[in-house]
Chains A and B, each alone.
Chain A
Amino acid sequence: AQSVTQLGSHVSVSEGALVLLRCNYSSSVPPYLFWYVQYPNQGLQLLLKYTTGATLVKGINGFEAEFKKSETSFHLTKPSAHMSDAAEYFCAVSPDDKIIFGKGTRLHILP
């Protein structure tokens, strides 16, 4: 069965520092991959997705992710964290007509 693993349920970074949220997937075929963000008391919204083509995907709010097939990874990065980035982030894979979500990583931004 397809799955995603997010390393670290909580990640803290200082404002202005690099954000790196890790995601590994298990898949026997190249998957479709997503990152969603959930701000407090809201639903999820799409940050970015990888389907085919360029392996470096740019999303909203300065986030990007790189699909690395050899490492089965799809890590999310942002060069400089902002206080408004504090949220929960979900990596997800779509092997068929459904999406399978990881357990989430809560990002804390330290002033």
Chain B
Amino acid sequence: NAGVTQTPKFQVLKTGQSMTLQCAQDMNHNSMYWYRQDPGMGLRLIYYSASEGTTDKGEVPNGYNVSRLNKREFSLRLESAAPSQTSVYFCATDVLSAPGDEQYFGPGTRLTVT
């Protein structure tokens, strides 16, 4: 089992370009999450999907959109990248999005916007 996979691993964009970060899981989990990690800021939730067909905003959703394509896949789209979106992006999953559920993380995508 691969667990949680993310593509690409690295990406450099110019300001204004668009791109989609892909996340897939083979653990049959219902809930999926997108975080960004910046130095000294910890992890901040961008969007999450408690179950297939639903998505909700997290703490820092501006400038991003998401699609829960099916139970396995949850993508994050930057329509017009800005230097402030330079970050490491992590996808995570958990079984049921219930209090106390642990989350399982992918390896991350390192994005630089110039």
Chain A interface (Cβ within 8 Å of chain B)?
9, 32, 34, 41-46, 49, 51, 90, 94-99, 101-104
Closest A residue, CB atoms, query B3: A43
Distance (whole angstroms) from the CB of B113 to the closest CB of chain A? 20
Q: Which secondary structure dominates where chain A touches chain B?
A: loop
Among A43, A95, A96, contact of B105 (Cβ-Cβ < 8 Å): A43
Q: Is the CB of A43 within 8 A of B100?
A: no
Chain B residue total in the interface (Cβ 8 A): 25
Which residues in B have their C-beta under 8 angstroms from that of A98?
33, 45, 48, 58, 97
Distance (whole angstroms) from the CB of B55 to the closest CB of chain A? 13
Q: Is the CB of B40 within 8 A of A103?
A: yes
Distance (whole angstroms) from the CB of A62 to the closest CB of chain B? 19
Which residues in A have their C-beta under 8 angstroms from that of B90?
43-44
Distance (whole angstroms) from the CB of A30 to the closest CB of chain B? 11
Q: Is the CB of A90 within 8 A of B43?
A: yes
The yes or no answer to B106 lying at the interface (CB within 8 A) is yes
Q: Is the CB of B108 within 8 A of A43?
A: yes
Q: Is the CB of B42 within 8 A of A90?
A: yes
Q: Is the CB of B40 within 8 A of A42?
A: no
Complex A-B: 29 CB contacts under 8 Å: A9-B40, A32-B99, A34-B102, A41-B107, A42-B108, A43-B4, A43-B90, A43-B105, A44-B43, A44-B103, A44-B105, A45-B105, A46-B103, A90-B42, A94-B99, A94-B101, A95-B99, A97-B98, A97-B99, A98-B33, A98-B45, A98-B58, A99-B103, A101-B43, A102-B42, A103-B40, A103-B42, A104-B40, A104-B42
The CA-CA distance from A95 to B50 in the complex, in Å, is 15
Which residues in B have their C-beta under 8 angstroms from that of A95?
99
Q: Which of A34, A42, A96, A98 has the most CB of B within 10 A?
A: A98
Q: Is the CB of A32 within 8 A of B100?
A: yes
Distance (whole angstroms) from the CB of B112 to the closest CB of chain A? 15
